[in-house]
Structure 1
């Protein structure tokens, strides 16, 4: 009897264990289904990732912060990934050297920005750019823009800024005085005199950061090589040219410097944006990439964009067309899947229009449906008339050097021959490293 009772008790215990096991299994299956559909169930621990971003546009930090937060929320909701963002936003003067140091020391950001025209060839050759050709964003790009981020048949970046630029002008001042953008340097001199007669400073000078005076180089080289000295760039890459051939560029540089605001070496682009919005000067050799900061100072300010005359040949007065800031992915990223999610999110149908509009950038993709800005339409009129050229392919190292030496030229510490020899040397040094 005792033996029989023990057998029954053992059987009952075994059955209860089996039932409990079956019930637990069914519960787990239910949770797994929920996790799959929601990118991770409540009981499933989120994957933690640190994504390093390098974006040298500190003036746009608020806009990038808002966009990045939306990305972080999407990764958590859809993939159960907790993304911690490590954002580095140096100014344009320091950024190139900082980035080079990161790359050389195997501390590459997961996602960083380069200048499409000036830097993609060099970075691609060095093996610093991930091939993004198979990513979903590629089919969204406008064909004309896709070409600027393609090398060896591979798409290597997401373009942010496509530019039509020359110099900015205050449309209200011009309209009040009955002025139109000059088409030659002689006309520019006449415009300057009319402005001065009306107690208006012609040009805003903001040379505190070296990349600002550097802007004269692509504008003058672009104009001169597309109107007379067409093979200059090719010959410079072959060590068979000299900036002495571009000596004409000093005419417009000298004219601007002689008719500009004071304290140029103390004023940076952010303070300059506020001063321009206040009407401190009628013109500013700068691009529309500062539209957001200008309009934040005066939302009703009327920005005009026009080509900068470099001589008395009206055929040389043209708009510069360029793709500049471009997001790329490091092949060495330890979190490449999240990095790829980020660059695809830039052109995500639900957020991309608001994002690009907040930055005051131009449409670059087929899913960009926002209306172009008035200053874009101004510049587009010159482009439609055939008065435009593609941004000259000048090595970034040469541009960096030009900024420093043109600062010295403005302060009287360098002469024209010093500028020419410095630029020639910088290009030759680039050629030695990149042959």
Structure 2
């Protein structure tokens, strides 16, 4: 597997930003959609495992548009895998071929996409007043405009099998030394400690925000700021390897052959006690085994319990392209995502957290687990790491796992990726 590559994502962001002030947001003229019209709406969401739920909700939206406005809507739903989606979307945006509605990561992608002028201002849309006060800032750009409707808000670290922990008399570890003791006790009982599923690069990439997010709470508080100025290095984040090595040495086999969906199925059936993954896989896990009892806990990085915290983030969110030819219907669609009557059932089916005042469903047990840490102040906001750096980290850690790269080569790749990002964002 070839993993030592130049940073393609940074180049795409460069092209994307070059569009600012040219084609971006200029092809905007809208005519009111007349009753009896047919509109073709392109929607781009990189969550293929949840397709059946999106399909069902889209059918409800189409029925509502027909009933309310007598508009026939044909929705072309594109759901690429998460590994390919960012580059596909950036290429589309840069070539003026944007979907009408597309998913983006709120923390990582709103800043560059908004700067490039590719996001419609949604500040005056009805859904905005429904957002929880804690959620609204995450979909607001630097100029104060709301530019997306949030789907996923996350509290994550790793997943652990509560029944296995209880049977083995284990407590959730608060330090790396305690985690090592948990690992040894599981192995002594013949239980594999960790599920490994690195076929898709975005999964090993998860170790990056967990490491950076936690360490910037204590000894490296200005790491992100310094990296944005080319004044720091990932050599400050070597705890990444301490955790990654521990997990890999005590995990399931053939990680590079196992995708996240297969990993979810294996974890659901008890093949391992823990998985470095987020609760966004809850729906897939429970589909494989409705009776599995899992919780969410923060991953220890070292022996400082102050660094053991939950990651808080808003990830998948839906934006409207500023160049959409079907803006009226696109705006109807993103407003329907938080429909007073229908959205609670939609979010609950997806196993997502409530994000709006209109959401009435009860939070899930794993959400309550994470919330306990949040309420105790043991949480941090997902760090603002450029997407190009995250993409590079996934590939580099695949290479490190397979023995093709050493620690210094991984550090050099991540430093280079961030510097390349800086060059096109100064």
Establish whether TM, by shorter chain, passes 0.5. yes
Who is 2:393 aligned against?
402
The counterpart of 1:231, out of the listed 208, 222, 243, is 222
Number of the residue aligned with 1:20: none
1:335 correspondence with 2:326: yes
1:372 aligns with 2:363: yes
Pick from 369, 382, 389: which aligns with 2:373?
382
Q: Give 1:303's aligned residue.
A: 294
Determine the structure 2 residue equivalent to 1:4. none
Alignment: residue pair count: 393
Question: Cα deviation per residue 1:83-132 (whole Å; 9 max; x = unaligned)?
Answer: 11111100110001100111111110000011111110010001111000
Higher relative contact order, structure no. (Cα contacts within 8 Å, ≥ 6 residues apart): 2
- Work out which of the residue numbers 134, 137, 140 in structure 1 matches 2:130: 140
- 1:57-107 deviations in whole A, cap 9, x for unaligned? 001000000000000111111111111111110011000110011111111
Work out whether residues 35 and 69 of structure 2, in 8 Å CA contact, stay in contact via their aligned partners in 1.
no
Matched, 1:206 2:190: no
Whole-angstrom CA distance in 2 between matches of 1:353 and 1:246: 40
Match of 1:243 in 2: 234
The CA distance in 1 between the partners of 2:287 and 2:38, in whole Å, is 37
Partner of 1:323: 314
Structure 1 Cα separation of the partners of residues 219 and 278 of structure 2: 24
Following superposition, the deviation at residue 228 of structure 1 comes to 1.0
Q: Structure 2 residue aligned with 1:79, among 50, 69, 73?
A: 69
TM-score, reference length from structure 1? 0.89
Q: 1:276-317 deviations in whole A, cap 9, x for unaligned?
A: 011000000000000000000111111110000000001100
Q: Does 1:176 align with 2:167?
A: yes
Matched, 1:100 2:90: yes
Structure 1: state its 5+ residue gaps: 1-39
Q: Per the alignment, in what secondary structure is the counterpart of residue 220 of structure 1?
A: helix
Q: Which residue of the partner structure matches residue 3 of structure 1? A: none
CA distance in 1, matches of 2:150, 2:171: 32
The Cα shift of 1:248 comes to 2.1
Cα separation, 2, equivalents of 1:172 and 1:233? 38
Deviations 1:202-234 (CA, angstroms, capped at 9, x unpaired) = 000000000000000000111111121100000
Residue aligning to 2:121:
131
Paired position in structure 2 for 1:37: none
The question of whether the paired residues in 1 share the 8 Å contact of 2:310 and 2:380 is answered with: yes
In structure 2, C-alpha distance between the alignment counterparts of 1:331 and 1:113, rounded to whole Å: 14
Alignment partner of 1:368: what SS?
coil
Q: How far did residue 328 of structure 1 move?
A: 0.4
Counterparts of 1:289 and 1:266, CA distance in 2: 21
Larger radius of gyration: 1
Partner SS, residue 154 of structure 1 = coil
TM-score (norm 2): 0.91
- By how many angstroms is 1:46 displaced? 1.8
Task: Indicate which of 22, 33, 39 corresponds to 1:49.
Answer: 39
- Name the Cα RMSD after superposition: 1.0
CA contact (8 A) 2:35 2:71 kept: no
Distance 1:333 1:340 in 2: 10
Question: Which is richer in helix?
Answer: 1
* Residue equivalent to 1:349: 340
> Gaps spanning 5+ residues in structure 2: where?
1-32
After the TM superposition, which segments of 4 or more aligned residues of structure 1 sit over 6 Å from their partners?
Answer: none
Matched, 1:122 2:112: yes
Corresponding residue for 2:5?
none
